[in-house]
Chain A
């Protein structure tokens, strides 16, 4: 065990898998010599050389398109897209090809590709550096979407993603990159894709979140505990495939659901979660499902960013609303 930040845990996962499997490599803008702009790939070039830790030309479409070709040829590329806001240039290759190649070829070919990108706001960045784009990828059949919220899960989920035979979008909560340290085992281990985690047990309300919103969810639960309300917090960890069992078990217990995400409200993943709960646990609900999300706007720059980001106060309000329904 050692104490690691999320950045260190992801770096450790990459190193662990690159040591274990010579077909694993990292590629992207500034990932080699510079170790990535967030230092996620720091020192990989020293251990594995520039053939497995590759500084590419500045072209996101090129990175993902060629990574698909590498994956078809038997390598396991982990492609880094430097920021959430630079995923769109690669969108064509992600949704039109990576997601469909297994389907298109009737299983003859598949794409064991991981695309890592930092996401989330809250770091006072310029435009296109603070997006929460998970819903685009959730909506695309053929992709898995994974979002860790802590160092232990970050390592275990990334190892699982690299070993997964299908393309995985792995979004890293950049605001939490260095926010705290936690115990991370030194050996290799897997956090299975498709398993949510009960981050805090409770009985009155289920609060569902993931990634960068987890500290807000946990602080909310803590605050509500002081008001004698017991909040169960679920960290989804994987959006696709969704661990509906964990969600529904909790809903059956509490009968009240609040969903928290940073992305805009309309067609955010909260919409899908609310529909799943409605479909499968309607008779257990004591109140309508409520969402706490970013508004349906572009995320503003630093001076207004905090007014966009969901906070504890807004979560408390939502919980009070489902309790008083």
Chain B
């Protein structure tokens, strides 16, 4: 007898807790295990991320920063998921998870340093289990799977989380990662921020699947779809997936349905491929506004709190920008000294040649 999977049989969870007007079922909030100070911390991270994003975009437009990938619109997906992680868990970002990097022990200064054209921004502090950003799409999915698999082999209670977008689900590495993780029950959370566009290509042209979450089924793992602009739902989905992974239950694919409000990067122009009305529609679902409404409804947030937070966050980012602009000139040895543990003769020779060349021109490249 022929059988086909229908949508009921796919049995995908869709998690949403916080409505766009800031309403939530109190029992669902209790289940989260979050306290008012957590709500405020989540809100602070989201607001700071948005302020950073707007500042970084402005710096790029003024020629003070290189190409930059804005995160606006995806704050709930990023902050909510990162908040569920333990410090010892490993985090593998794509290239848009700036606030996740910072929540996990890097600095806003590192983010600016990288996008300002210095590899020093990728120098992860000791004790911080973040991988560097990965520009080639979906490649980090396999790295995260391997790290999680290794944790399992070594008997650690460590999980890995990997961030990627809807476009990444088309790459072979995505499918290989989910398959390996399924086969070896690796404790990894595949966190897809479905922000609806891979540069210009809409989600509907990226895959004929109705959802991204359902792709998990083919690999024998759990798939969950979550309202990616609902920070409580994102937190819950991630926390549940991490708990399951930590207890030997294997991997989960989470599809956080969200929206990139800005350009793919500053080299992109979204007006070429999507209508302004669509962007406006998603602005109405702004994840930050949603949490703010909740806080206000709960009597946890006043106009004074808001003014104070904005001032503090703006100051923090302004100080970061000042530090970034005062970064010292790079040393040319930085080009050579990280290729191998020990510098081979050819690199030593090439470094020496470059030093001599600069010395002949007063210590720097000649002006042409």
Contacts and interface: CB of A to CB of B under 8 A. Distances in A.
Given A89-B136, A128-B136, A303-B117, A30 B336 contact: no
Nearest to B337: A297
A29 interface: yes
27 contacts: A57-B170, A58-B137, A58-B167, A58-B201, A58-B206, A59-B172, A85-B135, A86-B137, A124-B66, A125-B67, A126-B95, A126-B135, A295-B347, A295-B354, A296-B339, A296-B350, A297-B336, A300-B335, A301-B66, A302-B66, A303-B118, A307-B358, A311-B365, A313-B357, A313-B365, A313-B366, A314-B357
Contacts of A297: 335-336, 339, 347, 350
Contacts of A33: 200-201, 272-273
A270 B268 CA distance: 35
A304 B335 contact: yes
A34 interface: yes
A263 to B, nearest CB: 13
B171 interface: yes
Interface string B304-343: 0000000000000000000000000010101110010000
Q: Which of B137, B346, B358, B361: most chain A CB closer than 10 A?
A: B137
B251 interface: no
A59 B172 CA distance: 7
Chain A contact residues, majority secondary structure: loop
Contacts of A129: 135
The size bracket of the interface on B is 35 or more
A270 to B, nearest CB: 14
B199 interface: yes
Nearest to B367: A313
Interface string B153-195: 0000000000000011011110000000000000000000000
Contacts of B335: 295, 297, 300, 304, 307-308
Interface of A: 29-30, 33-35, 37, 55, 57-62, 85-86, 88-89, 124-129, 219, 265-266, 295-298, 300-308, 311-314, 317
Q: Which of A61, A124, A125, A127: most chain B CB closer than 10 A?
A: A127
Contacts of B170: 57-59, 62
B110 to A, nearest CB: 13
A301 B118 contact: yes
Contacts of B267: 37
Nearest to A300: B335
Interface of B: 66-67, 95, 114-119, 135-137, 167-168, 170-173, 198-201, 205-207, 267-268, 272-273, 330, 332, 334-336, 339, 346-347, 350-351, 354, 357-358, 361, 365-366, 368
B148 to A, nearest CB: 22
Contacts of B119: 300-301
Contacts of B171: 58-61, 89
Contacts of A313: 357, 361, 365-366, 368
What 8 A-B pairs come out closest when comparing CB atoms?
Answer: A302-B117, A34-B200, A57-B170, A58-B167, A295-B350, A303-B117, A128-B135, A301-B117
Nearest to A298: B339
Contact of B366 (A55, A86, A302, A311): A311
A29 B347 contact: no
A311 B167 contact: no
